Amino acid sequence: MKREEQDRKSEFITLLQKQENGVQNGVQNNQEQTEKKSKPIRKVKVKALKGSSYVISLEDTDIVGEGSFGKVVRAYDIKNQNEDLVAKIIPLDDQQKYESMQMELKVLCKLPQHVNLVNYKKIKMSSQNKQYFIMDYCNGGTLTQYLKNQKKISENEILEFLQQFCRGYRVLYKEGIIHRDIKPDNILIHNRIFKIADFGLAKIVDTLQVQNISTRGTPLYIAPELVKKEKASSKVDMWSLGVILFRMLFKGQYPFLDPLIKYDVPTALKHIQQKKLIIPSNPQRSPEIIDLVKRMLEKDESKRISWEELFSHNLIAFSLNEEENENLYDDLSEESSLKAGKQLLKSSVFIKKMEVIRQSKIQITHLSDKKPQQKKNSFDQPQNNKYSTDMESSSSQEDEIKENSQQQKEKKDDKFNMEQINMKTMQTLIRHSQKRLKTNLAINKIEDILLNFREKVLFLDVICLRMMVMNKLVERQLKQKQIKQSNSPKQNQNNIENADKSDKLLEQYFTHSQQGIFLLLEMAQIFNKQLQNFKPEQCPDILKEEWNDFLMSDNQLNLSKLLKQDKGCLNEFAKQYIQENEQTYFDKKEYHSFISQLNMERLLEEIHVNFQELLKLFPKIYEQMGDYKKGLLILFTYLFEAYSLNSDHCVFHDFKRFQDYWAYYEDIEQNRSEMDLYTQLVENINNI
């Protein structure tokens, strides 16, 4: 009994101690919370626009850009905190700027929203000496910055830009708008989407044909007819686009100008008028795109390509059919994927034609905070005066605070609390905006990683397509030899033996390449499956939080659709090839039996052995290929990279962007000499 009483006492004492500790901890927590509450909040320099819920940052760190027009700063919307915005501030300190601003207002009022045009949120806001335009923030900077960051741009990447530009400009064209200042600085990028911006020099015309148009714009992008102050048309923008295209194709070089000479503006304009257009030999570009840029840079305006002709050009037309491109991905069913695969297989020239125009639409659900109570204001109040006075130097909440603070002295504490709430609101808004921008960049980073991996899958498909073409050529060559031998008179024994050796060599290649196609298709399908089931643990560069944001984005959905289409195309490719070649290396039963026993490790072993035998055949069959030598050389260069795919020597290990693959294909197929490729390939084969 005594022991039980002692145990109860000790339990009671322990309970009391816990309660005391809890009270002490509670007091300490309350003190910490009080300290946190009373901690002064850094005041954010902002300027609110009366009659709207927009707030402009006055912080030096929030200046996005500056120029002769004024400056662009970060802006926020109190009512819609999920939008990332900027404000273009134009000082109206002279009549010309005011007239330019008035024209820009007219253009923007007429401009519909489009993914390839910068979206303006609010345009009718001005103070006594400044005009404010609120527009979407673009996280990729300008085309100028983009070009500086890329060492080399593939032709395919340039075409992607050109197609997107035409999608945006077609909207301007339909509305009768001439931009007059097309240049890299006025093309912004957001989530890899190119957007036409800055309509300060734009002009609305009744007809887009030849008429009087004042000389405006950036000197090296101005069309010759404007320099000569002749009548002009919407083709002045075509000239400017031609200058951009030329510079993208040829490492930043300006057309008509010597890259070794430093020009002042008058001399440069004079040379542009007088000199003939010279196409640089390096890097080599396709005849089709060279012909297009020549037509864009035709000095005679009447001979220059029109916008209707550009929109219907075979490099551009298919990308302007938005419904066709979008509907291709609407149905995620297996049947739809196979159908899409068949269409692409029939219509594409190698895999780069499979890359549809992607439009990243990032919609992330963020923490929801209660929005501050605000007065109901009219968003678009009419402007009666030449210079409207819709602006105030401080926020609308602060104005209310000042009015309340003037009533009684005892309301100072209330004023302080209101200011605290206002600053907290702004800090929360800014913090969420920064987090959202960071999230967008992280999503783009993950998408780049996955698209980079996807390009390896497409690379295997490129090899298969090339091997199929080469096999048909070899097969035709063997048949022609057999016909020639049967029709020719008696030959000596040496010639017959040499012909037999040659035929056996080609047959060896034919057999190994057929097996290689089956193996590569299977590897491509396994890679595709791995990519569809990708986990962030597979890549150390991806954080778990970033991956969760990616899964919530439209990017993930679009990529999933793209991978399903790839799967359909690969399945259709394999099915078609088996049907066409069932009497050769594999019949259907043998193929399915072989595949069912195949795992990744064995597949890599089979590919390693098969490609090793194929590569060793190259020096022997190269001389027998006649007109097909270059094609065989390119094919075997790709085969060696596929053979080295999992080694540190593979060239793809250095690729950071999926567009690097496009540049690689272009380099191998257009820029590298045959002798250079041959020497490098033979050296690589000898080192196996």
Residue 254 tokens read as 């300006």
| 169 and 97 within one domain | no
Which residue among 281, 297, 320 closes a domain?
320
pLDDT at position 471 is: 82
Q: Are 565 and 639 in contact (CB under 8 A)?
A: no
Give the CA-trace dihedral at 553, 557, 560, 562, to 10 degrees: -110
Q: Are 615 and 497 within one domain? A: yes
**Does position 364 have pLDDT exceeding 50, yes or no?**
no
445 is in an annotated binding site: no
* 73 within domain boundaries: yes
Residue at 391 is within a domain: no
CATH of the domain at 68: 3.30.200.20
Of 77, 84, 136, 181, catalytic: 181
In a shared domain, residues 107 and 151: no
Residue whose C-alpha is closest to residue 557's, from 367, 366, 363, 365: 363
In a domain, 427, yes or no: no
Structural domain contains residue 424: no
Q: Which of 266, 292, 320 is the last residue of a domain?
A: 320
User: Among candidates 144, 141, 140, 123, which has minimal Cα distance to 132?
Assistant: 123
In a domain, 599, yes or no: yes
Q: Tell me the mean pLDDT in the region 26-54.
A: 61
Number of folded domains in the chain? 4
Q: Identify whether residues 10 and 25 lie together within a single domain.
A: yes
The reply to whether 657 and 622 lie within a common domain is yes
With respect to residue 400, please indicate whether it lies within any of the assigned structural domains. Answer: no
Question: Residue 266: is its pLDDT beyond 90?
Answer: no
399 within some domain? no
Residues 149, 13, single domain; the answer is no
Q: Last residue of some domain: 298, 320, 342?
A: 320
User: In terms of domains, do 124 and 255 share one?
Assistant: no
Q: Any idea which of 23-27, 447-451, 623-627 has the lowest mean pLDDT?
A: 23-27
Same domain, 561 and 676: yes
Q: Which amino acid is at 505?
A: L
Reduced to 3 states, what is the DSSP secondary structure of residue 67?
Answer: strand
558, 590: one domain: yes
Indicate whether 598 and 677 sit together in one domain: yes
Average pLDDT (528-544) is 90
Question: Any idea what the CATH number is for the domain that residue 258 is in?
Answer: 1.10.510.10
Smallest CA-to-CA distance from 595 within 569, 575, 565 is with 575
Domain identity same for 217 and 84: no
Do residues 238 and 307 touch, judged by C-beta distance below 8 A?
A: yes
Active site residue 414: no
Q: What percent of the chain has pLDDT over 90?
A: 25
Residues 129 and 148 both lie in one domain: no
* 412 found inside a domain: no
Confidence (pTM): 0.73
What domain range includes position 9? 1-31
Confidence check: pLDDT of 605 > 70: yes
